[in-house]
Amino acid sequence: MIVKNVEKQENKTAVFTVEAEPAEFEAAVNGAYLKNRSQINIPGFRKGKAPRAVVEGMYGPEVFYQDAMDELAPKAYEKGLEESGLRVVGTPSIKNVEVTEARGVSYAFEVELYPEVTLGEYKGIKAVRASETVTDEEVDAELESVRKRNARKLSVEREAQMGDAANIDFDGFLNGERFDGGKAEGYSLTLGSGSFVPGFEEQIVGMKIGEEKDIDITFPEDYVENLAGKAVVFKVKLNGLTVDELPELDDEFAQDVSEFDTLEAYKADLRSGLEKRRADQVRDAFRAAVMKKAADGMKADVPDSMIRERAEEILRNYASNFGMDARNMPMEQLMSMMGLDEAAMTQSVMPGAELQVRTDLMLEAVIKAENIEPSEDELKAYVQRIAESVGREPEEMEKYFGREFILDELRKEQAGDFLVDNAVVVEEEEEESAEKSEE
């Protein structure tokens, strides 16, 4: 095959022509004949036994051309990419294909070019870094959460009060007729939780166990269409009440819920855990802010096809996490199963996909600008770390993902580390002032 006429165009595309020589095209035509002859029925010959010349004589010499062209097209495209040195995105389109006078075949491919990136400011990026301090109040709140999870449920015989867990039967009526979804038996409702329509829980307060009561409710205007703004009646019966009995905060409590002998030791461990989580959250938030600023500051015409491809990848990964076999499912079918239309795709998925694409482009540019190349020891340590995080052996990770993919991910991680290491921490007021000056 011969590559010729490689032309870059103003709309970030390129066109190149690849010609398959006559011998290649003839081999492909003969291959198409051999592939299809079992289905060909020619009078005077057993089915599938008619010679190629006879078939072409009856249907024309071009009868196998299309199959032959389809067979050679991928090879021609790969040859064109290899020799042109173009870096492309998306799916190519064939602008023209024709048989040459010499009985070869010529293809003209149009491709979208990988975007060229001009980095903006990427050293000394200013970003706010939140405090990692954990307060006594936060430790006490964590302790109280553990305390509530270990509370005992006690039945009480009295009138219902806010905070009680009420076991109720209810039946809803609209204009004297039951409506769908308005009935339940043995439902547990914590009074004051706000989980029911406003006004419902408050009217249970004061009821006695075994008492039945009609509760009048008007649904909010933004409720489901058939009930929005409608006045309804719930017939409610109170079956029982329970309250939480919280354990005492003492050494015995600490021994029951942890490996520690004293409450103070347990609180110290809670603080340590909170501090680690806070440090991770602060680090990740600061890194994300720096990366976004670097991505926002670069110049690049990102093709829509790159963003769309990443958005579809996000959806497929999300579906796979929920056990769906989404790898080969048509995107229209997957979107339908996930309750998404094009408008929702554009609004909820595409912005995140665009940020991911721009971030990857920015990191690639930083890798090139700073000559980032991990050492063999760094690569081994990285593979070991990601393998341990998913409970696998390093060899499994290399076999599954491939060395080059893992190496590329490590390069991007190190590029991100470079940005963070060279970033400048500023106070929130300074950040807001800088943003206003840019407006």
Please report, in tens digits, the pLDDT of each residue of the chain (439 residues total).
878 878 787 778 888 888 888 888 888 888 888 888 778 778 877 787 888 888 778 788 888 888 888 888 888 888 888 888 888 887 888 888 888 877 888 888 888 888 889 999 899 999 999 989 999 999 999 999 999 999 999 999 999 999 999 999 999 999 989 988 889 999 999 999 988 888 999 999 999 999 999 999 999 888 888 888 899 999 999 999 999 899 999 999 999 999 999 999 999 999 999 999 999 999 999 999 999 999 999 998 888 888 888 888 888 887 777 666 667 777 787 777 777 778 877 888 888 889 999 999 999 999 999 999 999 999 999 999 989 888 888 888 888 888 899 999 999 999 999 999 999 988 765 555 555 555 5
Residues 265/254, Cβ–Cβ less than 8 Å: yes
The residue from 186, 218, 245 where one domain ends is 245
Distance from C-alpha of 130 to C-alpha of 285, rounded to nearest angstrom:
8
Q: What sign does the dihedral 412-408-373-399 (CA atoms) show? A: positive
Q: Are residues 300 and 380 in the same domain?
A: yes
Residue 201 located in a structural domain: yes
Phi-psi label, residue 360: left if phi above 0, alpha if psi -120 to 50, beta otherwise: alpha
Quote the DSSP letter at residue 118: B
What is the residue range of 44's domain?
2-113
Q: Are residues 392 and 270 in the same domain?
A: yes
Residues 165/189, Cβ–Cβ less than 8 Å: yes
Question: Residue 200 carries which side chain, given as an amino acid letter?
Answer: F
Contacts of 360 (CB under 8 A, 6+ apart): 412
Q: Are residues 285 and 328 in the same domain?
A: yes
Distance from C-alpha of 356 to C-alpha of 303, rounded to nearest angstrom:
13
Q: Are residues 240 and 306 in the same domain?
A: no
Exposure letters 336-347 (e unless 16+ CB within 10 A, then b): eebebeeeebee
Q: Are residues 20 and 49 in the same domain?
A: yes
The residue from 89, 113, 137 where one domain ends is 113
- The structure's pTM equals 0.70
Q: Are residues 86 and 19 in the same domain?
A: yes
Residues 98/66, Cβ–Cβ less than 8 Å: no
Q: Are residues 428 and 329 in the same domain?
A: yes
Q: Is 421 exposed, middle or buried (0-12, 13-18, 19+ CB in 10 A)?
A: exposed
Phi-psi label, residue 371: left if phi above 0, alpha if psi -120 to 50, beta otherwise: left
Residues 159/206, Cβ–Cβ less than 8 Å: yes
Q: Are residues 169 and 212 in the same domain?
A: yes
Report the CATH number at residue 101.
3.30.70.1050
Q: Are residues 221 and 157 in the same domain?
A: yes
Residue 320 located in a structural domain: yes
Nearest to 90 by CA among 71, 119, 68, 110: 110
If you write DSSP's letter for every residue of 33-70 in order, what string do you get? Answer: HHHHGGG---TTS-TT---HHHHHHHH-TTTTHHHHHH
Strand, coil or helix: 418: helix
The residue from 176, 210, 245 where one domain ends is 245
Contacts of 149 (CB under 8 A, 6+ apart): none
Residue 250 located in a structural domain: no
Stated as kind and residue range, the H or E segment containing 413 is: helix 403-421
Residue indicated by tokens 């769906």: 324
Q: Give CA 347 to chain center in angstroms.
A: 14
Residue 133 located in a structural domain: no
Question: Residue 339 carries which side chain, given as an amino acid letter?
Answer: G
Distance from C-alpha of 287 to C-alpha of 423, rounded to nearest angstrom:
9
Q: Are residues 424 and 278 in the same domain?
A: yes
Give the length of the chain.
Answer: 439
Residue ranges in 232-262 assigned as alpha helix (H): 251-257
Q: Are residues 367 and 323 in the same domain?
A: yes
Bridge partners of 153?
244
Bridge partners of 173?
178, 233
Count CB atoms within 10 A of the CB of residue 390.
8
Q: How many domains does the chain have?
A: 3
Residue 123 located in a structural domain: no
Residue 31 located in a structural domain: yes
Report the CATH number at residue 277.
1.10.3120.10
Exposure letters 14-34 (e unless 16+ CB within 10 A, then b): bbbbbbbeeebbeebbeebbe
pLDDT, residue 68, reads 81
First to last CA, the chain: 55
HSE value, Cβ hemisphere, 13 Å, CA-based, for 394:
8
Residue 125 located in a structural domain: no
Phi, psi (degrees; rounded to nearest 5) at 339: 70, 30
Q: Are residues 241 and 268 in the same domain?
A: no
List the beta strands (DSSP E) in 60-104.
Answer: 88-99
Q: Give CA 411 to chain center in angstroms.
A: 22
Residue 128 located in a structural domain: no
Contacts of 287 (CB under 8 A, 6+ apart): 416, 420
Stated as kind and residue range, the H or E segment containing 51 is: none
